[in-house]
Amino acid sequence: MAEALQVLFDSMRFPPGVDEKRAIFGYMTALSGFTVEAIEAGIRKFLRGECEGVNPKYCPHPPELAHIVRTAVIPGRTHQPTLPKPEHRWLPGERERMRLKMPMWRHAFATGLMDQLNAANRQGFGAMVVLANKWGIKVPDELLQDEERTEREWRIAGNRARAAMEASPPPFMRRQLQSVE
């Protein structure tokens, strides 16, 4: 990167009043993450006079040079880091339960009825169906096909979630536990 920038600095003057030694850090920061090839392509574009809106008498400011580099490079040639998609292993019926729980949670949050939702969730699937019908929320058909199995899975999932929270309490539970002690 330093060699590519040196070509620019040897070819062009800095604007009046700019300390060259300090400006280097701005350029390094603005260009971090770009490949050397991309930086060279951007500098060539600038030196050929192909950049609009930039004073051709002086070196471009660091953000201007970063913009030039971004527009000079074919996006497919630069490495675009991507975050790995989180892998989630759905338990049987979990998707369907979430298709019921999330609309109910949004409704309870918006209307201040979280206590009702929490109570129904602790009572089990049957209480959730009653509350969903009361609130006008559709219960997924998959959950109603085998209510006995769904009730059992609902309780297992609830117990698993409570055990996970007790093993590694979220911050609000830690504060509650500290205030009790």
- Chain-centroid distance, C-alpha 58: 38
Percentage with pLDDT > 90 across the chain: 16
Assigned domain for 148 exists: yes
Residue 107 and residue 173 share a domain: yes
Q: Give 76-115 pLDDT, tens digit per residue.
A: 455 556 777 777 676 666 777 888 888 998 999 999 999 9
Comparing CA positions, the residue from 29, 59, 23, 18 lying closest to residue 42 is 59
pTM metric for this prediction? 0.44
Residue 104 and residue 55 share a domain: no
* Last residue in a domain, options 18, 44, 77: 77
Angle at 29 between CA 26 and CA 35, to 5 degrees: 125
Q: Give 58-67 pLDDT, tens digit per residue.
A: 888 888 999 9
* Last residue in a domain, options 77, 106, 136: 77
Q: Dig out the tokens for 138 from the structure.
A: 């559709």
Question: Domain residues for 65?
Answer: 2-77
Q: Dig out the tokens for 158 from the structure.
A: 């609830």
Residue 154 and residue 103 share a domain: yes
Q: Domains in the chain: how many in total?
A: 2
